[in-house]
Structure 1
Amino acid sequence: MSDLSATVTIAAPPAQVWALVTDVKRMSEWSPQVWRSFVVGGPVRLGTRFFNINHDGWKHWPTSAKVVRFEPHSEFAFRISENRTVWAFSLRPTDDGGTELTERRETPDGIAPISNVLVGVALGGQEKFRSDLASGIRQTLERIKAELEG
C-alpha cells in the first residue's frame, strides 16, 4: 500500500539515462522534493552514502541514504535511513533504442514510526504526503525525459 511508482519512455539509450539517474548531486534538478544532495567519497556505486536536504515550501529536512542496488544500465536504488524507504530507478531498453524508466518508492520494511508522526505533524498528513510523492515521482521522470530528449 505504501509503494508508489511511475514509468516513462525516453528516446535515449539506457547508458544515457543511467548516467543521469546515478548522478545524485544533480537530483535536485529533477526531483521537486530534493533541494540539495551531497555524495560522500568518489563515484556513486554500491554502498555509496549521500545526504539530501529535502524541502516542502519553506520546510527543510535532512535525510541520509545508502546505495543498496547498483546494476549498471538496469537498476539503481538507495535506502533512506530515517524512514526505511527505498527509492529505486529501473531501466529497460525498448525495441526502438530508447529506455523505459520506472521510479519507485518501496517500503519493504514499512515506514519508520517516527517518520509517520513527523509527516502527520509537519507535512500535512499521510494522504497529502503520499499524493505529493506520487506527483513528485511523475515530475522527476518528466524532467529527466526532457533533459535527455532536449
Structure 2
Amino acid sequence: MEREWVVEESVPVAASPDAVYAAVADPRRMREWSPELFAVWVRGKRVAEGTRFVGFNRIGWRVWFTTCEVTAAVPGRAFAFRVSTFGMPVALWGYRVEGTGEGTSRLAEYWEDLRRDGRSAGLVSLLGRVGTGVPAAERAAVNRRGMRTTLERIRASLESTAPRR
C-alpha cells in the first residue's frame, strides 16, 4: 500500500460557521477533543496568524511535544498551523469551515505530512517513530482515526451548547 501524505475528514455541524471557527481556532480547546493532545501552551492571549504554541501529546505511555505556528486564521472559514520538532518541519494541520445554510456548517480537518523532502525528513521520521511509537508509514491511518474522534467530539460539544430552535 502506498503511503498517504495527506488526510482529510469532515462532519456536518448544527452550528454557525462563526461558532465552529471560534472553537477550532483556539488551540487551548483542542485538548477537550483530541485523542492525543493533552495540554497546550500558547504564546500570548490572542490567537492569530503567526501565533506560536506548544502541543503536548501522548499515545499510551509515550509523551512528546511539538512546536506550532499558526499559518492561517480567517474567521468563519479557516484555521491552520505548521508543526515542527526541533526546528524541522513535521506536518501542516488545519480546519476549513463552510456554511451549509440556516446556521449549519461542514467542518473539515486535514493533515499533510511534511517529512517527505529535505535532508532532515529521515531524521524527523525516526524521531516521530521513537517519540510516538507510530511508524511514519502508519501515521496517516492513526491521524485519520484521531480526526474522526476529534471531529465527532467537536460536533457534540458545539451542538450541545447551540441555541435550540
TM-score, normalisation: structure 2: 0.84
Residue 105 (structure 1) aligned with residue 77 (structure 2): no
SS at match of 1:60: strand
Q: CA RMSD in A?
A: 1.7
SS at match of 2:142: helix
Q: Deviations over 1:69-104 (max 9, x none)?
A: 111110100000224311010000002320100000
AA in 2 matched with 1:98: T
Structure 2 runs not aligned, ≥5 long: 161-165
The aligned counterpart of 1:67 is 70
Residue 119 (structure 1) aligned with residue 122 (structure 2): no
SS at match of 2:101: coil
Asked if 1 retains the 8 angstrom alpha-carbon contact of 2:115 and 2:124, the reply is no
From 48, 52, 61, the equivalent of 1:58 is 61
Q: What is the 5 A alignment of 1:62-101?
A: 62-82=65-85, 83-101=89-107
AA in 2 matched with 1:12: A
Higher CA-based Rg: 2
TM-score, normalisation: structure 1: 0.92
Aligned residues: 150
Compute the displacement of 1:133 (Å): 1.0
Identity %: 35
The aligned counterpart of 1:37 is 40
